């Protein structure tokens, strides 16, 4: 089983390459804890999706630490990784998005796999749930079977600003729809999202996607088909040629609607931690210190 880590994001709100910002005295990053939890759950290969220019720093830091514990490969999310005959729109510098990132792994990942963000701390329980699902997951003659870990919204927000979340609708444990809300925050004790310059209330207990997915290889054909359609929209002016993004959850949602797959929602009460903003980091560091003190993690993840 493979862990695919999306680490090519620009980190614009945080103001730096937050994926490799140490959060422990040992110099470990958030992604070290993700990999540690994934290996404990049964993962035996890690694939980093990164910018080509960040290869050396990734390999010299987290890559060199984990190579003795798990197989490591690197995939570059290049702007020109496009279908034949396509070109980058003039002036575009923004990466194509999470769907394109995973599509870049097609030649590297041939087995069932987990997808995560590099800068999110998901918790060991979530990895175990998803790994247990993927051990036996396979497509049948009618459709593919995927899964996602669903988090309680109130466990994923920060006091330091807004966050983007995929708001999920479910039926009988299966995902029916994901609505991307790009600005969610707590205002005067009420969780709200901004749309059309108006704040709307959102149930604190809503299930949200944190880009924590479990896939079989059938996802790649779906990604390829939808990315082509997305580029058609760019060419036709139906999508923003400079900032439009090809989101992974949208591909899953479309495939569900078309009957090509279903997606089991594996709910967890785990609290998410991240460093969307600089002021989030001390909270995460305190949580990790306590987790080490409680024996949930060793004091030095990769100590031999």
Helices and strands in the chain: count of H runs, count of E runs: 8, 13
- Establish if 149 belongs to a structural domain: no
Quote the pLDDT of residue 246: 92
Range of the domain at 73: 2-143+208-253+271-293
**Tokens of residue 163, six digits:** 């966050």
> Does residue 68 sit in helix, strand or coil?
coil
Q: Encode pLDDT of 62-97 as tens digits.
A: 888 898 889 999 999 999 999 999 999 999 988 899
> 110 — phi, psi (to 5°)?
-120, 0
Residue 10 has pLDDT above 60, yes or no: no
Does residue 276 fall inside a structural domain?
yes
* Euclidean distance between CA atoms 180 and 63, whole angstroms: 32
Quick check: helix, strand or coil at residue 27? coil
The CATH number that applies at residue 68 is: 3.90.550.10
Whether 193 is covered by a domain: the verdict is: no
Give the count of domains, the chain: 1
Strands (E) across 51-202 are located at: 71-76, 113-117, 120-121, 144-152, 163-171, 174-187, 190-195, 198-201
pLDDT, tens only, 162-195: 888 889 999 999 999 888 888 899 999 899 999 9
State the Cα–Cα distance between residues 165 and 192, nearest whole angstrom: 12
42 within domain boundaries: yes
- Lowest-confidence pick of 196-200, 202-206, 279-283: 279-283
Q: Cα separations (Å) of 301 from 122, 131, 298?
A: 16, 20, 6
Give the integer Cα–Cα distance in Å for 104 and 82: 9
Region class of 88: left (phi > 0), else alpha (psi between -120 and 50), else beta: beta
The two beta strands, 71-76 and 45-50, are parallel
Cα Rg, the chain, nearest whole Å: 19
Phi first, then psi, for residue 133 (nearest 5°) are -65, -45
For residues 304 and 161, which has the higher predicted lDDT (pLDDT)? 161
Strands 207-215, 163-171: pairing is antiparallel
Query: Residue 14: pLDDT band by 50, 70, 90 thresholds?
Result: very low
CA distances from 93 to 46, 191, 219, 263 (A): 27, 33, 26, 32
What is the rounded CA–CA span in Å between residue 110 and residue 75?
14
SS3 percent helix, strand, coil of the chain, rounded to 5, is 30, 30, 40
- Is residue 192 one of the residues assigned to a domain? no
In a domain? residue 279: yes
DSSP single-letter state for residue 88: P
Cβ 176 vs Cβ 164: under 8 Å: no
Domain assignment present for 107:
yes
Q: Per-residue pLDDT for 154 more than 50?
A: yes
Is 70 exceeded by the pLDDT of residue 117? Answer: yes
The better pLDDT of the pair 114, 272 is held by 114
199 lies in some domain:
no
Using alpha carbons, select from 252, 246, 260 the residue that is nearest to residue 212.
252
């Amino acid at each position: 089983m493979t862990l695919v880590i999306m680490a090519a994001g620009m980190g614009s709100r945080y103001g730096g390459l937050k994926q490799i910002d140490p959060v422990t005295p040992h110099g470990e990053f958030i992604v070290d804890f993700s990999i540690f939890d994934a290996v404990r759950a049964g993962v035996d290969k890690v694939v980093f999706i990164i910018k080509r220019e960040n290869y050396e720093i990734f390999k010299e830091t987290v890559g060199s630490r984990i190579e003795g514990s798990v197989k490591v490969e690197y995939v570059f999310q290049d702007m020109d990784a496009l279908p034949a005959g396509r070109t980058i729109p003039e002036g575009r510098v923004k990466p194509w998005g999470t769907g394109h990132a995973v599509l870049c792994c097609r030649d590297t990942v041939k087995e069932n796999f987990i997808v995560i963000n590099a800068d999110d701390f998901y918790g060991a329980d979530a990895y175990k749930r998803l790994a247990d699902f993927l051990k036996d997951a396979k497509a049948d003659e009618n459709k593919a079977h995927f899964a996602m870990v669903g988090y309680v919204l109130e466990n994923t927000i920060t006091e330091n600003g807004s966050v983007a979340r995929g708001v999920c609708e479910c039926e009988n444990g299966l995902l029916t729809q994901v609505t991307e809300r790009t600005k969610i925050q707590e205002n005067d004790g009420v969780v709200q999202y901004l749309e059309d310059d108006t704040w709307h209330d959102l149930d604190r207990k809503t299930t949200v996607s944190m880009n924590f997915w479990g896939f079989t290889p059938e996802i790649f054909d779906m990604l390829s088909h939808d990315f082509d359609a997305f580029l058609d929209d760019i060419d036709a002016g139906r999508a923003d040629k400079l900032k439009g993004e090809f989101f992974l959850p949208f591909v899953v949602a479309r495939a569900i609607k078309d009957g090509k797959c279903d997606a089991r929602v594996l709910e967890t009460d785990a609290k998410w931690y991240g460093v969307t903003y600089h002021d989030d980091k001390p909270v995460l560091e305190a949580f990790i210190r306590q987790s080490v003190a409680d024996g949930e993690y060793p004091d030095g993840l990769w100590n031999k």
